[in-house]
């Protein structure tokens, strides 16, 4: 059996879809469906069982629970970067993750988990998997950073596969439940449909309007990296997952406009509350991923957005 926590979420549901495509249906999906609309992410998936996160936590201390489990993809977390209840975030993202990892290590089970590029903070020291580059600036980022630190201490002694993946700006199918936290590609698509205008922030940090850059990575590529590590259990450690190339918000908006063959860009004032707390530039250093042996190319923004728009159109989002 394979366990996917956060399995009804954005990346988790895409991961289960890919496992199904491999013929893998013996999957335990763990989530917390307070937002019942997430069921749309999993209605087309095949799983063996579902457990609420609360029930999962109550069972993971039992050795019998882990019999027959060969891998855990730990995607579940409080992902809101605006959540400042530190006790809540650390309980969900740090303590919960430690408990699962400890059981995986004790039972020799592969543990592949979602870290985050947010650990790099403003990015002023770069985006390499190096302690000198890491300076989280919100509670979500700190919880991910601290768990990475825990993993680093555990890795030399553990013998089971342990992999942390620092996701950069992921976009693509099955993210609609995230609301305001959905990707810019998702929001630009809705704006073009509703108003024929994609709304971008004016320039900040010395950059021209819409020229802030991020490492936008298509969710299908993120899933491929997860599955590659499942297939290569000798590879262990923490890795960046991005394209390795920063592209502008203008590029994302123009990719959406090109697909629709309609629409224009409108620049809006940069929000005061984001000044000094906004990443104007991210670009993953993926050298460690390549050194591990991962060879597949990542989609560009133009390629990935077109694929995403095709999916949204097939779902009636046009």
Give the CATH number, domain containing residue 132: 3.40.50.720
Share of the chain above pLDDT 90, in %: 82
Tens of pLDDT, residues 287-316:
999 999 999 999 999 999 999 999 999 987
Do 235 and 265 reside in the same domain of the chain? Answer: no
Q: Which domain holds residue 25?
A: 2-170+217-243
Closest CA to 280 of 182, 186, 189, 208: 208
Q: Are strands 247-248 and 213-214 parallel, antiparallel or unpaired?
A: antiparallel
Confidence of residue 236 (pLDDT cuts 50, 70, 90): very high
Q: Find the CATH number of the domain harbouring 264.
A: 3.90.25.10
Give the residue, 89 or 291, on which the prediction is more confident.
291
Contact 152, 238 (CB under 8 A): yes
Please provide the average confidence, as pLDDT, over all residues in the chain.
94
pLDDT (mean) for 261-265: 96
| Residue 281 designated active-site | no
Predicted pLDDT at 124 = 87
Do 237 and 179 reside in the same domain of the chain? Answer: no
Predicted pLDDT at 280 = 83
Do 239 and 95 reside in the same domain of the chain? Answer: yes
Do 163 and 175 reside in the same domain of the chain? Answer: no
Do 197 and 73 reside in the same domain of the chain? Answer: no
Contact 225, 18 (CB under 8 A): no
Total domain count for the chain?
A: 2
Tokens of 188: 């630009």
Q: Can you say how many angstroms the Cα of residue 226 is from the centroid of all Cα atoms in its chain?
A: 11
Share of the chain above pLDDT 70, in %: 99
Predicted pLDDT at 317 = 65
Annotated catalytic residue, options 53, 178, 197, 245: 178
Annotated catalytic residue, options 94, 120, 140, 142: 140
Predicted pLDDT at 278 = 74
Do 162 and 20 reside in the same domain of the chain? Answer: yes
| Residue 178 designated active-site | yes
Tens of pLDDT, residues 132-188:
999 998 999 999 999 999 999 999 999 999 999 999 999 999 998 888 889 999 999
Which parts of 101-251 are beta strand (E)?
110-116, 162-167, 169-171, 197-201, 213-214, 216-218, 237-241, 247-248
pLDDT exceeds 80 at position 273: no
* CB-based contacts of 178, cutoff 8 Å, min separation 6: 10
């Amino acid at each position: 059996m394979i366990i996917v926590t956060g399995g009804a979420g954005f990346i988790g549901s895409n991961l289960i879809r890919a496992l199904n495509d491999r013929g893998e249906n013996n999957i335990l999906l763990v989530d917390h469906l307070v937002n019942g609309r997430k069921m749309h992410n999993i209605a087309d998936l095949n799983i063996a069982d579902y457990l609420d996160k609360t029930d999962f936590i109550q069972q993971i201390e039992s050795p019998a629970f882990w019999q027959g489990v060969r891998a855990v993809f730990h995607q579940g977390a409080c992902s809101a970067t605006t959540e400042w209840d530190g006790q809540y975030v650390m309980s969900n993202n740090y303590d919960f993750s430690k408990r699962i990892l400890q059981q995986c290590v004790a039972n020799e089970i592969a543990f592949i988990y979602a870290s985050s590029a947010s650990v790099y903070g403003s990015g002023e020291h770069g985006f390499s998997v190096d302690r000198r580059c890491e300076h989280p600036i919100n509670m979500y980022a700190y919880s991910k950073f601290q768990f990475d630190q825990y993993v680093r201490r555990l890795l030399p002694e553990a013998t089971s596969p342990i992999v942390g993946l620092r996701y950069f700006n992921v976009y693509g199918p099955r993210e609609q439940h995230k609301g305001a936290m959905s990707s810019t590609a998702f929001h630009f698509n809705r704006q073009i449909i509703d108003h024929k205008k994609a709304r971008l922030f004016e320039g900040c940090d010395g950059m021209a309007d819409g020229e802030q850059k991020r490492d936008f990575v298509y969710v299908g590529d993120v899933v491929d990296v997860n599955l590659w590590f499942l297939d290569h259990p000798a590879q262990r450690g923490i890795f960046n997952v991005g394209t390795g190339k920063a592209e502008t918000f203008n590029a994302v908006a123009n990719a959406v406009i090109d697909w629709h063959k309609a629409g224009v860009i409108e620049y809006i004032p940069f929000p005061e509350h984001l000044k000094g707390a906004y990443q104007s530039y991210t670009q993953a250093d993926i050298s460690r991923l390549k050194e591990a042996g991962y060879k597949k190319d990542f989609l560009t923004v133009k390629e990935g957005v077109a694929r995403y728009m095709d999916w949204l159109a097939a779902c009636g989002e046009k």
